[in-house]
Structure 1
Amino acid sequence: MERMSLSRDPALFERAEAAFRREAARIRELLPDADVQHIGSTAVPGSRTKGDLDLQVRVPLERMAEAEAALERLYDENEGSGRTESFRSFKRDDADPPLGVQLTAIGSDMDFFARLRDALAADPQLRERYDALKLRFDGESMDEYREAKAAFFAEILGRGAN
């Protein structure tokens, strides 16, 4: 069973930011008009993090197929995530740090990752609640954490859990 481990080590945030710049440049070589965002806990200073890097690649719906093909050249499909007309998830577990890439159609129901990042960065109390949720699952099952995280994010976004 995959277990979660958390840290606030500033070196993790620095490494993630450097990796974001590198990966964003690689993505923009293939998709120059894509909006590439650093999302996830390493994009929110002071957060507890697993130390991985999360990116969101935003494109118009009509460019999803092109963007999927481009990202398939760089990353593995994240088969643990759902796939829809407006969302696809990729990963690279052997990267340093490990990374996840969320491809979303701009304006779709899955185009929320940067909004979550911004909400957590703007509201210290919300960030503390999220960190407390993460601490409850530190060393525990990643599947259970992901379920609780989805419910928390749904609350932030003002909608029911998916």
Structure 2
Amino acid sequence: MEIVSFARNKYNDQAAELFLQENKKLKERLEHADIHHVGSSAIPGTLTKGDVDIQVRVKQEEFDEAVRVLESLYPVDEKGEQTASFRSFYTKETVLPLGVQLTVCHSKHDVFHKFRDVLLINEGYRDQYDELKASYEGKDLESYREAQRHFFDQLKKTPEYRSMK
């Protein structure tokens, strides 16, 4: 059983630097991709597990090539869902653990940048998310992930999320 732990502001500089490095590398190989720093490390002052998440958004016709490029850079996340419009990659071989989510624009999984934006514009949702994280400090990671999924399912119902393109 993996235990989850959170910190506030401890990883900010490392997370920002890692995103800049990976963004540069990704832009060189996937010049048409829309690349975003997502997840808690992209939201200043929030609790984070100390990892970095990147969303790489591509058109459907660019997806297979993007998969090949990302597979050459990162291990596939064997625990993540893999579909014709979504792939997940994960490595601990960087200064902080790194997750890369490849999504087809406007597909079912094209949500990560929207979640980030909603949390950035609404302090109340950020506070709720931090409270959720704090309640899982030192507990089972899978239990936290289930509660996190429920939180984001609820966030999808908000006017802020529904107004996102």
- Please give the TM-score of this superposition, normalised by the length of structure 2: 0.93
CA displacement 1:43-84 (0-9 Å, x = unmatched): 011100111000000000111100000000110000111111
Q: Which amino acid aligns with 2:11?
A: L
For residues 93 and 138 of structure 2, the distance between their equivalents in structure 1, rounded to whole angstroms, comes to 21
Q: Which amino acid aligns with 1:75?
A: Y
For residues 13 and 114 of structure 1, the distance between their equivalents in structure 2, rounded to whole angstroms, comes to 18
Corresponding residue of 1:91:
90
Map 1:74-113; keep pairs closer than 5 Å: 74-113=73-112
Q: Which amino acid aligns with 1:46?
A: G
CA displacement 1:3-49 (0-9 Å, x = unmatched): 1111113x411110110000011111110111110000010111001
Structure 1 outlier segments of 4+, above 2 Å: none
Corresponding residue of 2:163:
none
Q: Which amino acid aligns with 1:4?
A: V
SS in 2 for 1:91: strand
Q: Which amino acid aligns with 2:2?
A: E
Corresponding residue of 1:133:
132
Corresponding residue of 1:148:
147
1:68 aligns with 2:95: no
Corresponding residue of 1:5:
5
CA displacement 1:129-156 (0-9 Å, x = unmatched): 0001101111111100111100110111
Task: Give the superposition deviation at 1:158.
Answer: 2.0
For residues 124 and 14 of structure 1, the distance between their equivalents in structure 2, rounded to whole angstroms, comes to 22
SS in 2 for 1:126: helix
For residues 157 and 87 of structure 1, the distance between their equivalents in structure 2, rounded to whole angstroms, comes to 19
Quote the RMSD (CA, aligned, Å): 1.1
Corresponding residue of 2:24:
25
For residues 75 and 90 of structure 1, the distance between their equivalents in structure 2, rounded to whole angstroms, comes to 6
Corresponding residue of 1:35:
34
For residues 106 and 60 of structure 2, the distance between their equivalents in structure 1, rounded to whole angstroms, comes to 9
Gaps of at least 5 residues in structure 1 are: none
For residues 111 and 142 of structure 1, the distance between their equivalents in structure 2, rounded to whole angstroms, comes to 23
Q: Which amino acid aligns with 1:101?
A: V
Gaps of at least 5 residues in structure 2 are: 159-165
For residues 84 and 132 of structure 1, the distance between their equivalents in structure 2, rounded to whole angstroms, comes to 32
